Amino acid sequence: MSPVTARVSARRTWYLQTNAVVAAWLAVLGVVVLAHQGIPVADWLMVHLLLLGAVSTAIIIWSQHFADTLVRRSALGGRRSLIIRLVGHTLGAILVIIGMIVNLFVVVLAGGVLVGAVAVLHAALLGRELRRAKPTRFGSLVRYYVAAAVSLLGGVCLGIWMANPGTGADLHARLYLAHIALNVLGWIGLTAVGTLLLLWPTVLRTRLGDGTDAAARTALPLLTAGVGVVAGASLAGVPLGVGAGALLYLLGLVPVVREAVRQARHAPPTTFAGWSLAASMAWLAFSVAALGVVVATAATPIDAVARLGWLVIPLLAGFSAQLLLGALSYLIPMVSGGGPQAGKAAAVELNRAPLFRLLVVNGGIVLYLLPVPSLVKVVLSLLVFGVMLSFLVLLVRAVVAGGRIRSRAGSAPVAGSAAVPAGGARSRRTRSGMAAGAVGALVLAVTVGVVLDPVTAGVGAASVTAQGTVASASGEVTEATVTMLDMRFAPSSLTVPAGNRLELTVTNGDTAVHDLTLASGLTSGRVAPGETVIIDAGITAASSEGWCSIAGHRQMGMVLQIIVTGSAETDAAADHSGSDATGLEVSAADDLGTQPEPSPGFEARDPSLLPASAETHHDYTFRVGDTQVEVAPGVTQTLWPFNGTAPGPTLRGKVGDTFTITLVNEATTGHSLDFHAGALAPDGPMRTIEPGETLEYAFTATRSGVWLYHCSTMPMSLHIANGMFGAVVIDPAGLDPVDREYLLVQSEFYLGPQGGIADSDKIAAAVPDLVVFNGYANQYQEQPLRAKVGERIRIWVLDAGPNLASSFHIVGGQFDTVYAEGEYLLRNGGSTGTGGSQTLGLAPAQGGFVELRFPEAGTYPFVTHAMTDAERGAAGQIMVVP
C-alpha cells in the first residue's frame, strides 16, 4: 500500500469510527423513543440523548476538523487529544444520564464535571490553535467554536444546579431558561452558524465570497451578546431582558442569512443536505423569536417554562436534528476517501428520497404544532422520528457502497471531495412523486390519529359524558394553563364552552410531586417539580372536577373546578372523588371490636429504653416504605413508617452528641424528615425526596428533652397519622439513676379502609378511631410493663399527635418527679419533699418524663386521662411484683 493510500485509508477509518459514536447515540435514542413509557425521566432522556449525546459528539469532532482546515494546522496533541475529549465527553454524558435515571445527584455531578472539563479543554485547545496559526482568510470562524465551548461550560454548570434536589421551583425555572440559552443557542447555535458560513457554499458547490467573511465578523458579537443577555436575564428573572437578548440573537442571524440567500440564488440547494441545513436555520430563527416573545410576555419564570413546552419539538427536531443529519449527509461522503466514485456512491445513498424526507419531517413538525388531538401528535411524532432515523440505515448503505467501489478500483484511491449528485438530474416527475408521497404519509398519520381518538378530534355529532350529558362538538379548542403551587391549582376554576375540546398545560411549580386527575379518568401522571405536561381532556359536556390524587393532597385543597357553560347541566358538578377514595370504601373502624385479641404471634413493642451509649456520634439509616401493619386486633393499615415500625427507631444521646440519619425513600410517594432535637435551617435537610431518592440529615443535640421527629411532607397531618414519627431522647445533665426506664409515644389512627391509608377527612375533623401508645391499641393491656415493689421507675412520654393532647396518668401511682419540655416541674417531691403529681400534660409534639415508686404489688393501669381517648386504645398496665 502506497503512503497516499495508507493516509487516505487511515483518514477514512478515523472519521467512520468517531462518527460511529454519533450513530450509537442515535440508535439508543431510537430504542428510548419506542420504549419511553417504561423508562424513568423519558422526556428528559430523549432530549439529552440527542443534544448532549449525538449532537454534542458531532460538534466536538467536526469543529476540530474545520478548525484544523481553517487555520491549516493541527491542535495540540492532534487526534490523541480529540480522542481524550470524545472519551471524556461520552463518559460524562453517560454518567449524567445514569444519575438522572437512578435519581442520584452525586452521579449527575460527577458526569457534569467531566462534561464541563471537556468543554474547557476543547475551548483551550481551539483558542491555542487559533492564536498560534498564521492569519488566514476565514480563520476567525474558529472563534465561533471557542465561544460555543464556553457556552457549554456555563450550560453544564446550570444543568448540575438544576439537578440538585434542593433547587426550588422558581429558581429551577430560571435555571432552565438560561440552560436553554447557553446549551442550545450557544453551544449548538454558535457552532451551527460558524460552520454553515463555510459549509453552506460548499454544499451548494459555489465559491465563498467576501460577504462570507464580513457576515462572520458582524454576526459573532451580536450572537454571543444575545446568548449572554438571554442567559443573564433568565437567571435574574427579567422577562423583557430575555426578549431583548432574543432580538440581539436574531439581529446576529441577519447577515448570515442574507449571505446564505445570496449564495442560494446563484446555486439553489438540490440535495437533502442543502435542504436540511436551510430548514434547520429557519427553525432556529423561528425558535429564538418564539422564545423571546413567550418569555417576555410571561408573568413569572414558572409561567414561561409552562408556556414553552411546545417549543421543544422545533428546537430538537426542526433545528438540532436536521442540522446534524444534513451536515453528516454531506460530510461523511466528503471525508470517506477512495476517490470521486466512492464518495459519489456514498452520497447517492445518503441523498435518497431527499424531498420526501424533507417534507415529512418539516410538514410533520408544523402539523404537530397545530391544535390537533394528542394521538395525532403521537402518530406524527413517530412518523417524523422514523424518517429521521432512516438516516442510520442510509449511513450503513453509504459505507457499504463506498467500500464496494473502492474494492473494485484497479488503482490507488485518490483523496478529494465527493461529487455530490446534483438534484437537477432528477426528473420533475420524480420530485412530484416524492412530494405526493410525503403529503400522503402525513395525511395517513393524521387519519390514524383521528381514528384512534375520534371524539377528541371532534368527529361525530356529539360527546356523551359518564353522567349522560350530551354536547355537540363545536370544533373549537379551549387552551388553559394550570400551575400546581402551595397545594393548590392556580387558577382553581376554568370556564369552558360546552362542546369545546379542552387542552390543559399543567406545570408543577411546587416543591413536591403532584398530578392532575380528571373526573373522566384522564390523568397527567406524576409531575415532578418544574416539569410541564399537556392533557388533552377531550370534548367538554358537563361541569366536573379535577384533583391531585396523591394521598391527602385533594383534602388540602388541590381541586380544579371545570365549569362548562351553555349545556343543559351547567350547574351539575360531576360527583367524583380522588384516588384516596375517602368515604367511598368501608372504613376499617367498622371492624373494631370484632376480634377480641391480637392476631396469633403478636408481640407488643418493647417499651424499654436503653441507657445512652458512650458514643458521641450516632449514624442511622431510615428506610421508608408502604408497609401493612396491624394497629388493633383485626385491623390493618398501610403505613409509611420509618424502618417498618410506628413509632420509628428511638434515638438516645447526650447534649453535644451528633446524629447523622440517611433517609432512603422506598415508598410510592415523597417523604421527608424533621428532627425537633436539632436546630438548623430546614431548607435542605427537611426537603421532600421522591421515591428512589436518599437524603442525609445531620444535627447536633444542643438541648435536652424527649424530642419528636416526623415526616414534614405536606399534608403533614396525614404523614404523621400514617405512622411517620418517632422519638429522640437527649438526657438532661445530672439525670438521677433509676431501676427501669420506659418510653411511651402517644399517637392517633384515623382509619381508612382495611389495608388502606389514613382517612384525610377524619384527620381534618380531628376525630380519630384509635388513640394508642407505641403504635397499637391497648397492647400493654395484653402484655403489661413490668416493675418490682420499691424500684424507681422512669417513664418517658411523647405526644406525637398529630392533633390530640395527652394527659398521662398511672392509676394508683403518684409521681414525685415530673420533667416536661426541658425543665423539672417537680423533682423528688419538690421544695417540700412531699409534693406529688397525678398527670403529665402534653400538647402535640411535647414530651417529658415522670418518676415514681410502686408501694405494693399489683396491676397498675396507665392511661391518657382524656378518658374518651383512653377508651379508644391509649391504655395499658404495669404489672408490679414483690
Which phi and psi angles does 463 have, rounded to 5°?
-115, 135
Is 865 assigned a ligand-binding role in the annotation?
yes
* Contact in structure between 572 and 498 (CB atoms under 8 Å): no
Return d(Cα 498, Cα 472) in angstroms, integer: 8
Average pLDDT over every residue of 259-281: 93
Name which CATH class applies to 590-881: mainly beta
Is 89 assigned a ligand-binding role in the annotation?
no
pLDDT top residue among 465 and 434: 434
Average pLDDT over every residue of 451-480: 57
Q: So where are the chain's domains?
A: 3-335, 353-408+428-453, 462-565, 590-881
* Contact in structure between 53 and 95 (CB atoms under 8 Å): no
Distance of CA 565 to CAs 306, 478, 753, Å? 26, 12, 37
Is 266 assigned a ligand-binding role in the annotation?
no
> How much of the chain, in percent, has pLDDT values that exceed 90?
52
Q: Which pLDDT value is given to residue 69?
A: 84
Confidence of residue 7 (pLDDT cuts 50, 70, 90): low
Q: Which pLDDT value is given to residue 76?
A: 81
Average pLDDT over every residue of 372-401: 87
Nearest to 19 by CA among 335, 301, 252, 296: 335
Q: Which fold has domain 3-335?
A: Cytochrome C Oxidase; Chain A (1.20.210)
pLDDT at 584 over 70: no
* Chain mean position to CA 161: 13
pLDDT at 91 over 90: yes
Of 303-312, 605-614, 735-744, give the lowest mean pLDDT range: 303-312
DSSP-derived secondary structure letter, 182: I
The 10s digit of each residue's pLDDT in 789-844 is 999 999 999 999 899 999 999 999 999 999 999 999 999 998 888 999 999 999 99
Confidence of residue 720 (pLDDT cuts 50, 70, 90): very high
Average pLDDT over every residue of 646-669: 92
Return d(Cα 676, Cα 416) in angstroms, integer: 74
Q: Which pLDDT value is given to residue 462?
A: 41
Distance of CA 465 to CAs 455, 472, 516, 569, 761, Å? 11, 12, 19, 11, 28
Please, what is the average pLDDT of the chain? 86
The 10s digit of each residue's pLDDT in 204-243 is 988 877 788 889 999 999 999 999 999 999 999 999 999 9
* Contact in structure between 730 and 849 (CB atoms under 8 Å): no
Return d(Cα 19, Cα 26) in angstroms, integer: 11
Average pLDDT over every residue of 385-405: 88
The 10s digit of each residue's pLDDT in 32-69 is 988 766 676 778 899 999 999 999 999 999 999 888 88
Which residues are CB-contacts of 727 (< 8 A; sequence separation ≥ 6)?
Answer: 647, 650, 651, 706, 707, 708, 709, 743, 745, 796, 798, 847
Give the helix ranges, DSSP H, for 490-569: none
Is 514 assigned a ligand-binding role in the annotation?
no
What does 824-869 look like in DSSP terms, one character per residue?
EEESTTGGGS---BS-EEE-TT-EEEEEEE-SSSEEEEEEESSHHH
Average pLDDT over every residue of 512-520: 82
pLDDT at 489 over 70: yes
Could you tell me if residue 605 is left (phi over 0), alpha (psi between -120 and 50 degrees) or otherwise beta?
A: beta
Q: Which pLDDT value is given to residue 342?
A: 76
Identical fold for domains 462-565 and 590-881, yes or no, is yes
pLDDT at 466 over 60: no
Is 548 assigned a ligand-binding role in the annotation?
no
pLDDT at 420 over 70: no
* Contact in structure between 620 and 659 (CB atoms under 8 Å): yes
pLDDT top residue among 149 and 305: 149
Is 388 assigned a ligand-binding role in the annotation?
no
* Chain mean position to CA 395: 34
Residue 234 burial by Cβ neighbours in a 10 Å radius (0-12, 13-18, 19+): buried
Return d(Cα 183, Cα 108) in angstroms, integer: 17
pLDDT top residue among 416 and 89: 89
- The CATH architecture one would assign to domain 462-565 is Sandwich (2.60)
Q: Which pLDDT value is given to residue 578?
A: 37
pLDDT at 418 over 70: no
Is 710 assigned a ligand-binding role in the annotation?
yes
Q: Which pLDDT value is given to residue 308?
A: 84
For cell 418517658, the residue is: 796
Q: Which pLDDT value is given to residue 473?
A: 58
